[in-house]
Structures are given as structure tokens and as C-alpha cells.
Chain A
Amino acid sequence: MSVSSDQDSGLRSSAETAVDAGSLTMEQAIANLLQRQDLSLRYYAAWWLGKFRVREPAAVDALMAALDDQDDRAPDGGFPLRRNAARALGKLGDRRAVPGLITCLHCDDFHVREAAAQALEQLGDTSCVPTLTALLTSQVGKSSGLGLDQPYDSILEALGTLQATEALSAIQPFLDHDIPRVRYAAARAMYQLTQEASYGDLLVAALQGSDLQLRRSALMDLGASGYVAAAPAIAQALAENSLKLIALQGLLDHQLQGDRSPVTQDLALSDTACDLLSLMDTLL
């Protein structure tokens, strides 16, 4: 998982800053997003609606409309408001946003495509799988060295989470990609799709790397993968406890979902869940 760009700002905003929700109301945020005079107000409102999970249909409508925005342009030609709107829609859980987000996968702006792929992953709607897969197969291996042609890591992660087993053969070549975090995303997706430990172990091995940023990336991928055998290696990785706790929380969530009573949906604590809790305690 990429710890740069959106992921990073997400981590930072949830990790170490206090956000004053009282600075805006829901109605004001929606109004700010709908008005056309002040671009920075629109940009902030889109972020705010996602951050505070405003699931009102009116908020979702305004954000969906913002996916087509033409006014807010970055110096690099990008669409800042579209990026924020796509990110927010991923957090609001309203699948009406899916078609608009799929359209965004063809936007000229790399970061819009990236935000859309991440949002589609969060929304859990598999109708985007063919489009995501097509983005992989059109460009395999053609990385410029300076950057990526496509947000491959986000695409791979989405395909893994969406259980897109039909994409396995398109994902597999990315295990050998030049860029480590793309390889990690491929390993994570392959694990999610096959449950084969060898793919999880690729990420465990990545925790031993010398670059802190890449260790952080591998931690986040392991947390999302649900590969519970990685827990001790996560706890021992040379990285911040905050990130290790998030990774272990990911494994725990996965485990708890599986442990729930099938009848009552009550929470039950298996031995594995207790082992994870006890590891997390050591990192507080």
C-alpha cells in the first residue's frame, strides 16, 4: 500500500493532528461545495465531507457532481477538486458513486485515477473490476523510472480487496515490477486472492528492507492482507508503533470478522485474536 499521497495525509490527519469539526457544519460544507466562486472553499469542503463521513445523499450528490469539475486546475494540469471528491466518495459508502468513479479511471490526471481506484476499493462494488484489470494489462512493465503510468499499487490493491480472481493472471506479472511498493501491492493482492502463504511471506521479507518508507508500505499491505502469520514480524519491524498497531488492527479485524458467531453476529475471541491483542498491548 502506498504511504505517500492520500494514504499519507490520511495517516497524518488521523494520527497526529486534532481536527476541529466545529469549524464547519454539514449544511455549510455542502453549500461551499456547490458554490462556484471560491475554489479553495470547494476543495476544503470536499475533504471535510469525507473526513467527517457525511453520508447525506445531498453530500454524495454534490461530490459526484464535483467529479466532473473543470474549474479547479493545478499547475500540472491536474484536477485537485476531483481528487478530493473521489477520496471523499470512497469514505461515504454510497455505491451510487461507482459509475462516476469508473469514469475517473480514464481521467488525464494520474492522481484522480489513483483516488478513484482507492475509492472503488473502499466501496466494494465489483462492477469496476473489468476497467481496473484493463488498466493493468494495457501498460504492464512499462515504468518510466521517474514514475508510474498508472497507479498500479492502488489498482492491484483494489483488485485484491474486491476478490477479483479473474484478474489473477493480470496481477501476477507485477510481482516482478521495478518499483517495490507495486511489487508489495501485487503480493498483497495475490495473497488475498489465493490465501497462499508464499505471497504473504514476500511482504514479511519486505519488513527487513533497509528503507523505512518501504517498511511502512509493507506494514500497511500486511495489515490489509489478513495474513495473520505475519503478526510477530509486524510487532518486531523497525517502524513506528503507530503503524504497527494499524497493521495489527487490520489483521485483528480480519480475524474477528471470521470469528463472529454465524447466528447472532456476536463478537467472539479466538485464541488467535487474543494473541493479536496481546501483541498490540506490547506496542502501546
Chain B
Amino acid sequence: MTLPLSPSSNAQALIQAVEQATSPVALLLAVRSLAELRSVDAIPTLIQVLGYNNPGAAVAAVDGLVNLGDLAAPVILEQIDGYNYGARAWAIRALSRIGHPDALDTLTEAARQDFSLSVRRAAAKGLGTLRWAVLPPDQQRPVQMQTLETLTAVCGDGEWVVRYAAIAGLQALAAVLEPADPAVADIQRLLQQQAATDDTLAVQARALWALQAIAPDSNA
């Protein structure tokens, strides 16, 4: 190798390696290399990998997309797979971790009514951790209250792990609100109810943990 490759031809080679991988391990290694390149050229291929039913490769692809952050979010929103719930769950996870508020409507719809629990779970967690500060100040509170309403509804989901994720989302939401905000008290009441009455021990424990994080002194 005498000449350094230009970034785009490097991406091209790594994309080709992903497309031509012949074993799960080869795919995983190729996706990791492509993800580490942090090139916008890699975005469509990384999104495609989410549909390959290879959990290891999908984790690497999500990491790659999250590293590209707000550059990847619009492409993911545009290409989200309505037919493959496995791929959709990973895409929602990536959007959740990127946290751009443009994903609000997609996450809200996914948390409330996707048929797949892995999609609802990832969306519920992500709704709590959107980067509200990106929005103009006068828009922040209305969408936060909309999110509170969504997560309150999701606390009634039939699957424990989705309720668990909603609680994680509520804890994160409470953390960005002013402590004196009446919405924080609403969240605390909801969490107390979940801690006392949820039929799954892990969900009760998560609610208790969230309460301790929100008001460390009052829940000793």
C-alpha cells in the first residue's frame, strides 16, 4: 500500500466488505470496521444491517449510527422499516440514543402502538432522554408534557419490560424538569403507584430506584 486511500474510497471498501460477508462473524467484524470509520457514507449500509437478524452486527451498526448522531437521525427517520420489527427495534434504539427531538413523533407512535415489544421498549426509554435543549425554549415544555402523557399511558402496557422502560424514561424526564414543577410530583405519584402495585418485581424495583434518584432524601 503506497497511496493513502481517500475517505470515501475507504468507506466504499468497507461497505463492500459488509455486503460480501459470508459468515456471522465476518459480518460482525466488517460492520465494526465500517462503524468505526464514522463516515456519513456508511449510514445507509449501517441501517441495512439492522435488518440482517444478527444481533452482534446490529449492536455494532447502532453504535456506528449513534456516533454519527444528528447526521444519521434524519436518514433513519426516513428509512425506518415498517415491515421488519427486528430492524425497527434497532432503528428506534439508535434514534433513542441520538436523542434528537425530531424523532418525537416517531418515538411517540412507536411507544404507544407498535405491536413489537422491543420497539415499544426502546421508544419509551428514548422519549425520556430526548435532547430538549435543542428546541426553542417556548417549545420545550409543551412537548415534555406531551411526552409525560405518552409515558404515563405506556406505564399501563401489558409487557413488563415496556413498563420498565417507561419508568426509566420518566426518571430521565423528571431529571430535566425543575424540582418544583408540578409535573415532577405527578411523575413521583405515578412511580409510587407502580412500585406498590406492579405485578412484576423488576418493575417495582425500577420504580423504587427511580423514586430514590428523583428525591434521594424522601425515599430513604
Report if A and B associate in a common complex.
yes
Q: Check B161 against A267 for contact (C-beta < 8 Å).
A: no
**Does B212 make an interface contact (CB < 8 A)?**
yes
Q: Mark B6-47, 1 if CB is under 8 A from A, else 0.
A: 000000000000000000110010000000000000000000
Contact between B206 and A277 (Cβ–Cβ < 8 Å)? Answer: yes
Cα distance A277–B208 when bound, in Å?
A: 11
Check A274/B201 contact, CB under 8 A, given A210-B25, A245-B161, A284-B125.
no
Contacting B at CB under 8 A, from A227-269, are 238-242, 245-246, 249, 252-253, 256-257, 267, 269
**A16 engages B205 (CB within 8 Å):** no
CB distance from A11 to the nearest CB of B (A): 11
Residues of B contacting A239 with CB < 8 Å? 55
Interface size counted on chain B using CB atoms at 8 A = 30
Contact of A238 among B56, B165, B206, B212 (CB under 8 A): B56
Q: Which residues of A contact B146 (CB under 8 A)?
A: none
In the bound complex, how far is the Cα of B165 from the Cα of A241, in angstroms?
13
Question: In the complex, what residue of chain B is closest to A21 when comparing beta carbons?
Answer: B158
Name the CB-closest residue of B to A281.
B168
When the two chains form their complex, are residues B159 and A14 in contact, meaning their CB atoms are under 8 A apart? yes
Chain A contacts for B160, CB-based, 8 A = 249
Once the chains are docked, how many angstroms separate the CA of A176 from the CA of B204? 40
A274, B117: Cβ atoms closer than 8 Å: no
B206 and A284 contact, CB distance less than 8 A: no
Sample of 4 further A-B pairs with CB below 8 A, known A17-B115, A280-B164: A210-B25, A242-B117, A269-B209, A280-B202
Contact A16 B202 (CB under 8 A): no
What are the residues of chain A within 8 A of B205 when measuring CB–CB? 252, 256, 267, 269, 273, 277
Grouping DSSP codes into helix (H, G, I), strand (E, B) and loop, the B interface class, with mixed when no group exceeds half, is helix
Partner of A16 from the list B85, B164, B212 (CB cut-off 8 Å) is B85
Query: Cβ of A17: which chain B residues have Cβ within 8 Å of it?
Result: 115
Are B201's CB and A252's CB within 8 A?
A: yes
| A267 and B168 form a contact (CB under 8 A) | no
Task: Looking at the assembled complex, report how far the CB atom of B126 sits from the nearest CB atom of chain A, in whole angstroms.
Answer: 8
Alpha-carbon distance A217/B53, docked complex (angstroms): 17
A binding-site residues for B, Cβ under 8 Å: 14-18, 210, 212, 238-242, 245-246, 249, 252-253, 256-257, 267, 269, 273-274, 277, 280-281, 284
What mask results when residues 207 to 220 of chain B are scored 1 for a CB within 8 Å of chain A, else 0? 01100100000000
Cβ of B139 within 8 Å of any chain A Cβ, yes or no, is no
B173 interface residue (CB < 8 Å to A): no
User: Smallest CB–CB gap between A101 and chain B, Å?
Assistant: 25
Q: Which of B124-167 contact A (CB under 8 A)?
A: 124-125, 159-161, 164-165
> Using an 8 Å CB-CB cutoff, how does the interface string of B46-84 with A read, 1 for contact, 0 for none?
000000000110010000000000000000000000000
B188 interfacial contact with A, CB 8 Å:
no
B118–A277 touching, CB < 8 Å: no
Q: Which of B179-220 contact A (CB under 8 A)?
A: 195, 201-202, 204-206, 208-209, 212
Contacts A210-B25, A252-B202 given; does A267 touch B165 at CB 8 Å:
no
Q: Is the CB of B208 within 8 A of A284?
A: no
Q: Does B202 contact A253, Cβ atoms closer than 8 Å?
A: yes
| Chain B nearest Cβ from A170, distance in angstroms | 32
Decide: A240 and B202 in contact? CB cutoff 8 A. no
Question: Is B100 at the interface (CB under 8 A from chain A)?
Answer: no
Q: What are the residues of chain B within 8 A of A242 when measuring CB–CB?
A: 117-118, 161
Complex alpha-carbon distance, A182 and B138, angstroms: 60
A210 — which chain B residues lie within 8 A by C-beta? 25
B95 within 8 A of A: no
Q: Say whether A284 contacts B55, CB under 8 Å.
A: no
Bound form: Cα–Cα A70–B154 in Å: 45
